[in-house]
Amino acid sequence: MELLNRLCRCFSPSGREDGLRELIKAEAAPFVTDIYTDAMGNLICRKAGPGKRLMLAAHMDEIGFMVTHIDDSGFLRFVNVGGVAAHNCLNRAVEFESGAVGVISCENKEKPASAGLAQMYIDIGARDRAEAESKVSIGDMAVYKGEFALMGGRVTGKALDDRAGCYALLKGLKAAAACPNELFAVFTAQEELGLRGAGTAAYAIEPAMGFAIDVSMTGDTPESSFASLSLGKGPGLKLKDASFIANPSARDFMLGAARSAGIPYQIEAAARGGTDAGAINLSRTGVPAAAISVPTRYIHSPQEVADVGDIEATAALVAKMIETAL
């Protein structure tokens, strides 16, 4: 889990994926034929093979906050970058790329649960506007300052969405013994803002088939809303979410790979959410697509939770898919 720890600790809000991209590039380069960054900021890793083009995508970006105003007392107003839930923000620590740390609070101290993001601010410990402006500027981004930790066979940290997917794609890329397809392992930008990077990457690559490797919510906690996934039972093979319905050929490809490798899996059909599979599916005249999910609790919070065995099983499934001809 040392690699996952390093991935999670990287500062990488949507549109500012540079640091994480360089880390992944260094890890992937020895195992691919070509590696390059496109205009959207996607890291595209191509591994030569004699067959059809297979695209596997995991997104580099995480949700965050952008400073919009600094008041005379040095408090920062902000807007969300991606799907930030107000209830997850209060009294949470955030960190800027510069290393400046702040805490989110709200105007209404009597009824904080009713506060929306417009009533919240970031306290960076500044005494006035001048001190605040010496640390941050309007337009700067921050992310949750979550702590990475192992909890027995499980792991918690910020940005497991989607560093768990990045880890699985990297490890699968390294572990694959053969490559009968022309593989494009794409670490995408700006997924949290509407699957942006995957759409442009798929347009350029023109894959014969594409898969997103991402996380998905579970239904295994007290009084949780209905969801089919549980921690510790293997990756979810996603047949539907709000962004796509899996093409039968893509469904059969990932199911066949899991079964032939003896990898435990769960079937997922989600009513909400979206993954890069949705953008891949709609590229050009259409691409058969599906998604693989790492079951994860408390998604888009400062402390997400996933099972180490599920993450490693996802990496093994990725390796098997790379080794399987389309």
Q: Annotated active-site positions, please?
A: 191
Number of CB atoms found within 10 A of residue 252's CB: 13
Cα(88)–Cα(105) distance, integer angstroms: 11
Number of CB atoms found within 10 A of residue 213's CB: 30
Number of CB atoms found within 10 A of residue 182's CB: 20
Strand blocks (E) in 29-171: 34-37, 43-47, 53-59, 64-70, 76-81, 93-96, 101-106, 120-123, 141-144, 149-151, 154-157
Decide if 299 contacts 217 (C-beta within 8 A): yes
Beta bridge partners of 101: 95
Torsional class of 26: left (φ above 0), alpha (ψ -120 to 50), beta (otherwise): alpha
The H or E element spanning position 269 is strand 266-269
Cα(19)–Cα(148) distance, integer angstroms: 18
- Whose tokens are 């034929």? That residue is 33
